[in-house]
Amino acid sequence: MFRRILILSLLALAACNRAPEKPHVILISIDTLRSDRATTPNIAALAADGITFERAFAHVPLTLPSHASIFTGLLPARHGVRDNAGYVLDAKTPTIASLLRERGYATGGAVSAYVLRKSTNAGSGFESWDDEIPFIEGAPMGNLARSGDRTVDVMTRWMHAQASQPFFAFVHLFEPHAPYEPTYDADVLAADRHLGTLLQSLRDAKLYDDALIVLLSDHGEGLGDHGEQEHGVLLYREALQVPLIVKLPRNERRGTRVTRTVQLVDVLPTIAALTGASAPKTDGVSLLDDDAPERAVFSETLYPRIHLGWSDLRSVISWPHHLIDGPRPELYDMARDPRETRDLREADRRAYARLRTALAAAPSTDAAAPRVDPEEARKLAALGYLTAQAPAARSDLNPREHLGDLNALKEVTMLMSSREYGKAAALIETLLARNPGWSDLRDDLGVAYRQMGDLPRAEKAYRDAIAATPELAPGFALSLAGVLLDRGALDDAERHARLALKTNPEGAHELLAHVAMRRNDPDAALAEARLSGNEFLLATIHMMRGEARDALPLLQRIHDRGGPLPRGYYVLAGDVFLRLGRPQQARIAFERAVQIHPDDPLPRERLRMLR
């Protein structure tokens, strides 16, 4: 009898310590975090509770395609998302979220960067996807972001609401991404604080111990190594090696460190294995398969070709060797030369041949830029931009050898920031003469001329950009639509805005709302504003329609959310209060507007009206 009681007691104890069949899953992505910088307090604390993979690598140093690989377990050549612009993930592709939804999980995500907005299908498979980041016409995509504390707050509330059932939560932090505030390392610490807030909320809610938590980054950052300050152009170790930590339920294998080479496509098979989800065929294997052999890691960047008119690059890592293939291939031994300073292509011909063979066996990595959608091609042809789709331009310009021009972009940024638009435009024209395929520069040129008030040149810059890179037409067309709106060419502005409806519906509907306002069509403006999701614009249109009571709750929501308020917020709020017969609140709003924008005459005029 005693023996039977002892066995039953041991079984009960084992059941108490067993990981749940359907653990909560939290996937945390800290954008642009180099593996050698992932040593901050909260990251270190999570690592102490989990498994650290010391040699984890990304497949592309860009946010959208890298997250597509994380979510699908597929290399970029297979899931088809090859750049941040011009690509959309096929919604039919299985993702971690769709697999876990089939398993009975609630699925929710919140992102801190516009590049992962819903219209890219980055949130494919998620029931809830919070991407409330306003689109600002003309702003660089990297500047369209929100603070990680707001993202963490959104997901914390969502997780607590779902705690009674298994859930999959994805949290994306953007702080280490440029522009830094004020330095890269300061931003890493900021991201770490947001992580600490998230993890503490899980502990407080008694969710931490039984949860499966995966922390990673989508890619690294150059920080001047090999001449690249940021990322996207080169494929050296600093851009590809990422932190990867897996905390198992009940902190199993606590404090373990794994030295074999792993990759971001391994995340989906790992989560599927630990949750009992049925996984499709992927390019990865479970991170917990300790018997998995060393595998080659394939990476690519098409950014230099699509955006700069230079050569694309591919790479393969077969530990310890790393081959970077381009106009001038390079070979490194990362074990003996971790900073990749000694090219061994000539000295180690055997390793070079072996990795060339491995790279040739990689999934198809056609370096063509995104194809123009047939329907979009017809629209472009109707607007006079192209009569047939030409193949993407090829180039043999080695990106590393042209980084000097890329570094000159910093001077352009400084001139634009200091509002020296004439000097910026002149420098851009010089850079374009040397790099005619540099599409991003054409966008900057359009912004510079528009800020100078030279609308004809701004229009030409955007039209030239569409003609030169029709595969990126939607982004340029939306910027052009803004210029055409300024020029009063409303029909042309509408046609160009509609080109962006598929890839940037929020921005396109916002501009179409402005077109309708200029046409004095408040009903159409209201409909477009609702589709844009821009609550400030919606409040403005309600005021145009004399609907102050509908505008007020929108303004209140904007204020309560925190963060920067739209320019003109307090003037509009004052007008709303005046219309509602609340002159004292109107006065306070106008006085606040004067404090924020002392050079703006409008709030002073409103205050004079109140005297």
Q: For residues 322 and 451, is the Cβ–Cβ distance under 8 A?
A: no
SS (H, E, C) 390-451: CCCCCCCCCHHHHHHHHHHHHHHHHHHHCCCHHHHHHHHHHHHHHCCCCHHHHHHHHHHHHH
Q: Which of 8-12, 26-30, 225-229, 601-605 has the weakest average pLDDT?
A: 8-12
Q: What is the C-alpha to C-alpha distance for residues 216 and 58, in angstroms, rounded to an integer?
A: 10
Q: For residues 13 and 54, is the Cβ–Cβ distance under 8 A?
A: no
Whether residue 404 has pLDDT greater than 90: no
| This model's pTM is above 0.95 | no
Provide mean pLDDT across the span 582-610: 91
Whether residue 86 has pLDDT greater than 80: no
Which contacts of 376-383 are long-range, i.e. CB under 8 A and separated by 24 or more positions? 376/473, 376/474, 376/499, 376/502, 377/470, 379/495, 379/498, 379/499, 380/466, 380/470, 380/473, 380/499, 383/495, 383/496, 383/499
pLDDT of residue 15: 39
Average pLDDT over the chain, rounded to an integer: 89
Q: Give residue-wise pLDDT tens across range 327-369.
A: 999 999 999 999 999 999 999 999 999 999 999 989 875 544 4
Residue 91, burial from CB neighbour count under 10 angstroms (0-12, 13-18, 19+) = exposed
Pairing of strands 256-263, 241-242: unpaired
pLDDT of residue 138: 54
Whether residue 419 has pLDDT greater than 70: yes
pLDDT class for 474, splitting at 50, 70, 90? confident
pLDDT class for 408, splitting at 50, 70, 90? confident
Structure-token pair, residue 570: 């307090």
pLDDT of residue 409: 81
At 243 the three-state DSSP class reads coil
CB atoms within 10 A of CB 219: 28
Which residues, in sequence order, are CB contacts of 128 under 8 Å at separation 6+? Answer: 107, 108, 109, 158
**CATH 1.25.40.10 given to domain 534-611:** yes
Whether residue 379 has pLDDT greater than 50: yes
Q: What is the C-alpha to C-alpha distance for residues 525 and 528, in angstroms, rounded to an integer?
A: 5
Q: What is the C-alpha to C-alpha distance for residues 346 and 195, in angstroms, rounded to an integer?
A: 45
Of 360, 322, 300, the C-alpha closest to 55 is 322
Residue with tokens 């030295």: 259
Whether residue 472 has pLDDT greater than 90: no
CB atoms within 10 A of CB 463: 20
Whether residue 386 has pLDDT greater than 70: no
Structure-token pair, residue 200: 């503490």
Q: Give residue-wise pLDDT tens across range 186-220.
A: 999 999 999 999 999 999 999 999 999 999 999 99
pLDDT class for 221, splitting at 50, 70, 90? very high
Provide mean pLDDT across the span 239-243: 98
| Crossing angle for the helix pair 473-486 and 455-468, to the nearest 10 degrees | 160
pLDDT of residue 145: 83
Q: What is the C-alpha to C-alpha distance for residues 60 and 76, in angstroms, rounded to an integer?
A: 8
Number of alpha carbons in the 13 Å side-chain half-sphere of residue 344: 19
Q: What is the C-alpha to C-alpha distance for residues 481 and 479, in angstroms, rounded to an integer?
A: 5
Q: Give residue-wise pLDDT tens across range 2-55.
A: 444 433 343 344 434 455 689 999 999 999 999 999 999 999 999 999 999 999
Provide mean pLDDT across the span 501-516: 92
From the DSSP assignment, how many helices (H) and strands (E) are in the chain?
25, 13
Q: What is the C-alpha to C-alpha distance for residues 414 and 406, in angstroms, rounded to an integer?
A: 14
539: part of which helix (H) or strand (E)? Answer: helix 535-544
Q: What is the C-alpha to C-alpha distance for residues 127 and 105, in angstroms, rounded to an integer?
A: 10
Buried (b) or exposed (e) across 131-155, using 16+ Cβ within 10 A? bebbbeeeeebbebbbbbbbbbbbb
CB atoms within 10 A of CB 210: 15
Q: Where are the domains of the chain?
A: 16-294, 316-360, 534-611
Whether residue 236 has pLDDT greater than 70: yes
pLDDT of residue 294: 87
**CATH 3.40.720.10 given to domain 16-294:** yes
Provide mean pLDDT across the span 491-517: 93
Residue with tokens 């595969």: 471
